[in-house]
Amino acid sequence: MSMPDFCDTIFTMEITQKEKDTFRLKAKNVVVELARKVTIRGKSDGFVIDEPGEYEIEGVSVFAYRLGESGRAYLLQCEGVRVLFIPEYEQEMSEACVDELGVVDVLIFIRSEAKLMVKLVEAVEPSYVLPAANDSQDSFVKTYERGSRAMASLVVSATSLPSELTEVIVLNR
């Protein structure tokens, strides 16, 4: 009997929306809650990130950025998938900041002016956009004009990301 080749193992991440303003990312050994701040739970009780900086917790890399005076953006990398989470997007991100982000596979946001978020989506070109279920979601879907799919959860892996067009996913709570 041969041993499995762990290099060939594909890990997945499941993304759900728990509450109106809260998303949950579940990977192999970790759960990440995205709300006004980022909370990572694995073997430990939980680590909260709400300040700019670089973090590595339970195998999740997090780069937290300040946006304007009070805004935040969090770039997470887990299971080979890069997730950009923006709780509130109120002013346009600079080109330098967009360049620093690099590849974004999934963009999640809670609140934003629709035209501003469409510009960000066009700049970072994520595989998936997940707007929170609120007025911002309806406005964004209408302004983006490419439709959306409703799902209970989104399961992604580094190898399953669509390469062509950005998909808007509306998660059912």
The distance of Cα 18 from the centroid of its chain, to the nearest Å, equals 14
Per DSSP bridges, beta strands 106-112 and 81-89 are: parallel
Q: In what order do the strands lie in the sheet with 128-131?
A: 53-57, 60-67, 71-78, 81-89, 106-112, 128-131, 167-171, 149-151
Q: What is the mean pLDDT of residues 88-98?
A: 86
Tokens of 53: 């900086």
Task: Name the packing angle between helices 114-124 and 135-144 (round to 10°).
Answer: 60
Portion of the chain with pLDDT greater than 70, in percent = 94
pLDDT in tens, 56-75: 999 899 999 988 887 899 99
Reported confidence tier of residue 26, pLDDT bands at 50, 70, 90? very high
Q: What is the pLDDT of residues 111-150, one digit of tens each?
A: 888 899 999 999 999 999 999 888 778 888 899 988 899 9
**Token pair of 45, please?**
């009780």
Question: Quick one: pLDDT at residue 57?
Answer: 92
Report whether pLDDT(41) > 80: yes
The DSSP-derived string for 71-138 is EEEEEEEETTEEEEEEEEE-SPPPHHHHHHH---SEEEEEEE-HHHHHHHHHHH--SEEEE-SSHHHH
- Residues 96-118: what's their mean pLDDT? 90
- Which domains does the chain possess? 10-171 (3.60.15.10)
The rounded percent of the chain whose pLDDT value lies above 90 is 53
For residue 99, give the nearest of 80, 77, 123 by alpha carbon: 123
Question: What is the model's pLDDT at position 10?
Answer: 57
**Over the chain, what is the mean pLDDT?**
88
Residue 21: name the closest of 73, 87, 118 by CA: 87
